[in-house]
């Protein structure tokens, strides 16, 4: 953590062109996928206030938003000297999977940087100081509340030092993930399966329960339309107290498999984080899905809804510890990464994120954003919905 930020500027410190560019940057950021990295958008503004180039981040391992915007400008032959980089997150300062954005901005001759919120991620933080040391004028705090909201759950995961959690359910219209006899291949359309395998190829780990391994014997690899393994494979994690059979398909032959001997989703996430996982997709079955949802640990929910009815069989969820409607978990549609609702062949793909807890708004927060702290305190409370113990009672053996 970088701690509290003290250098936010009054709203008047930003020009109309910078404010408009931040709107564009926030919009552009939504095109990226959720996961280990935040959604980030960037716009380069010319000295005359015109928007010269827009970029956004396409997920872990790809160019950062600032580098993307600079590349767009360079390929269009635009001179960036004296321009302003408007970006939704503090430019990074580290050589991670891509180079440091602060240095790329300095090298491009950009004179000013306006960003919304600090980067809370230790290895990446400190870009503002590097930029200032190089003589770049840096201002922050523009649209801070919206930028925090954009990556509300990512900030939460970073603060908690746990992986970002995507939960995936492939179900019928009546919320079944398998028929009475256990058959479950394939409820989803080929397009939904392809979409799921695309996600598998960009996450760090995929998680199922021992029950799923024993019943379905899945491979959990990322495969293309021909069934061939794609280049990057996620770690295959199996949680639960029962052993993973020696001949289970999930073991594969590349050693990228991990047994997490626990039924507690918090413990499972801690183990995965220690193993280097920053984005995990939880695939099932019902007990695992319910446990993660019950604990408020799901940052992104993807439901593949097939136009199919079973009327009986395995329900997607087996209890969230909710006894009355007032305790219902509320979700909101997520416009990021392909939108909230999409047709995938004959299926519907629903994309949601947990609704932020309704907390009284501090009027000062909207008038003049002062720090990340106020908003992160607010977002932390979103996890308070289901009580830990309540979900625990819903869990049997995985």
Active site residues: 66
Kindly state the smallest distance separating residue 160's Cβ from ligand AOF, in Å.
14
| DSSP track, 330-398 | -EEE--STT-SEEEETTEEEEEEEEPPP-----HHHHHS---HHHHHHHHHGGGGSS-HHHHHHH----
| 124: contact with ligand AOF by CB under 6 A | yes
Q: Among all chains, which residue has been given the structure tokens 């392809």?
A: 194
Kindly state the smallest distance separating residue 38's Cβ from Zn ion, in Å.
10
Q: Which is nearer to Zn ion, 44 or 101 (CB)?
A: 101
Q: Which of 44-52, 92-100, 145-153, 316-324 is the region at the interface with ligand AOF (rule: CB under 6 A)?
A: 92-100
Which 3 state secondary structure label does DSSP give 159? helix
- What radius of gyration do the chain's Cα atoms show? 22
CB 188 within 8 A of CB 306: yes
The site for ligand AOF, by CB under 6 A, has a size of: 18
Kindly state the smallest distance separating residue 55's Cβ from Zn ion, in Å.
11
Which of ligand AOF, Zn ion, none does residue 97 bind (CB under 5 to 8 Å by kind)? Answer: ligand AOF
Cα(350)–Cα(324) distance, integer angstroms: 25
| 98: contact with ligand AOF by CB under 6 A | yes
Kindly state the smallest distance separating residue 10's Cβ from ligand AOF, in Å.
24
| 101: contact with Zn ion by CB under 5 A | yes
Which of ligand AOF, Zn ion, none does residue 171 bind (CB under 5 to 8 Å by kind)? Answer: none
| 94: contact with Zn ion by CB under 5 A | no
Q: Which is nearer to ligand AOF, 64 or 263 (CB)?
A: 64
Which 3 state secondary structure label does DSSP give 144? helix
Q: Which of 17-25, 71-79, 97-105, 182-190 is the region at the interface with ligand AOF (rule: CB under 6 A)?
A: 97-105
Instruction: Give the residue from 298, 350, 349 showing the smallest Cα distance to 320.
Output: 298
| 141: contact with ligand AOF by CB under 6 A | no
Which of Zn ion, ligand AOF, none does residue 162 bind (CB under 5 to 8 Å by kind)? Answer: none
Cα(395)–Cα(265) distance, integer angstroms: 11
- Subset of 39-68 contacting ligand AOF (CB under 6 A): 40, 57, 60, 64-66
The site for Zn ion, by CB under 5 A, has a size of: 3
| 119: contact with ligand AOF by CB under 6 A | yes
Kindly state the smallest distance separating residue 127's Cβ from Zn ion, in Å.
7
Which 3 state secondary structure label does DSSP give 69? helix
Cα(58)–Cα(74) distance, integer angstroms: 19
| 110: contact with Zn ion by CB under 5 A | no
Instruction: Give the residue from 99, 114, 92, 94 showing the smallest Cα distance to 7.
Output: 114
Q: Among all chains, which residue has been given the structure tokens 């990295």?
A: 37
Kindly state the smallest distance separating residue 21's Cβ from ligand AOF, in Å.
15
Contacts of residues 59-64 at CB distance under 8 Å and 24 or more positions apart, as own/partner, are 59/32, 59/33, 59/35, 59/202, 60/35, 60/36, 60/97, 60/202, 60/278, 60/279, 61/97, 61/98, 61/202, 62/98, 63/98, 64/40, 64/91, 64/92, 64/98, 64/101
Dihedral class, residue 347 (left if φ above 0, else alpha if ψ from -120 to 50, else beta): beta
Residues in contact with 191: Cβ distance below 8 Å, sequence separation at least 6, in sequence order: 344, 345, 347
For residue 286, the tally of other CB atoms under 10 A from its CB is 24
| 64: contact with Zn ion by CB under 5 A | yes
Continuous segment of H or E residues that includes residue 10: none
Kindly state the smallest distance separating residue 101's Cβ from Zn ion, in Å.
3
Q: Which of 89, 148, 205, 375 binds ligand AOF (CB under 6 A)?
A: 89
- What would the x/- binding string for Zn ion be over residues 202 to 231, using CB under 5 A? ------------------------------
For residue 275, the tally of other CB atoms under 10 A from its CB is 14
Q: Give the residue closest to ligand AOF by C-beta.
A: 96
Q: Which is nearer to ligand AOF, 95 or 328 (CB)?
A: 95
Kindly state the smallest distance separating residue 137's Cβ from ligand AOF, in Å.
18
Task: DSSP letter for 11, please.
Answer: G
- What would the x/- binding string for ligand AOF be over residues 213 to 242, using CB under 6 A? ------------------------------
Residues in contact with Zn ion by the rule CB under 5 A? 64, 92, 101
Residues in contact with ligand AOF by the rule CB under 6 A? 37-38, 40, 57, 60, 64-66, 89, 91-92, 96-98, 101, 119, 121, 124
């Amino acid at each position: 953590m970088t701690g509290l930020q003290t250098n936010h500027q009054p709203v008047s410190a930003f020009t109309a062109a910078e404010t408009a560019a931040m709107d564009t940057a926030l919009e552009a950021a939504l095109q990226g996928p959720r996961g280990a990295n935040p959604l980030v958008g960037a716009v380069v503004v010319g000295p005359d206030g015109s928007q010269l180039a827009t970029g956004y981040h396409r997920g872990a391992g790809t160019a950062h938003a600032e580098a993307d915007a600079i590349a767009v400008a360079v390929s269009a032959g635009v001179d960036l000297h004296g321009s302003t980089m408007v970006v939704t997150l503090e430019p990074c300062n580290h050589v991670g999977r891509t180079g440091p954005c602060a240095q790329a901005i300095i090298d491009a001759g950009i004179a000013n940087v306006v960003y919304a919120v600090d980067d809370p991620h230790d290895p990446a933080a400190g870009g503002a100081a590097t930029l200032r040391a190089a003589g770049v004028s840096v201002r922050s705090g523009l649209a801070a509340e919206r930028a925090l909201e954009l990556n509300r759950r990512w900030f939460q995961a970073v603060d908690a030092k746990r992986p970002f959690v995507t939960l995936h359910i492939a179900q019928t219209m009546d919320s079944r993930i398998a028929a009475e006899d256990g058959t479950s291949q394939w409820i989803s359309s080929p397009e939904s399966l392809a979409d799921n395998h695309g996600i598998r190829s960009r996450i760090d780990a995929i998680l199922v329960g021992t029950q799923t391994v024993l019943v379905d014997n899945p491979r959990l690899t990322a495969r293309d339309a021909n069934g061939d393994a794609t280049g990057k494979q996620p770690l295959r994690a199996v949680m639960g107290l029962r052993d993973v059979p020696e001949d289970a398909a999930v073991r594969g032959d590349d050693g990228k498999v991990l047994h997490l001997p626990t039924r507690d989703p918090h413990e499972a996430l801690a183990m995965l984080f220690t193993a280097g996982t920053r984005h995990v997709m939880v695939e099932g079955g019902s007990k695992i899905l319910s446990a993660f949802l019950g604990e408020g640990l799901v940052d992104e929910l993807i439901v593949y809804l097939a136009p199919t009815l079973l009327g009986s069989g395995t329900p997607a969820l087996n209890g969230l510890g909710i006894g009355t409607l007032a305790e219902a978990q509320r979700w909101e549609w997520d416009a990021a990464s392909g939108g909230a609702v999409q047709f995938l062949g004959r299926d519907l793909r629903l994309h949601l994120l947990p609704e932020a807890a309704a907390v009284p708004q501090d009027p000062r927060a909207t008038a003049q954003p002062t720090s990340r702290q106020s908003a992160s305190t607010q977002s932390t409370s979103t996890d308070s919905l289901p009580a830990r113990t309540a979900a625990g009672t819903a869990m049997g053996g995985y």
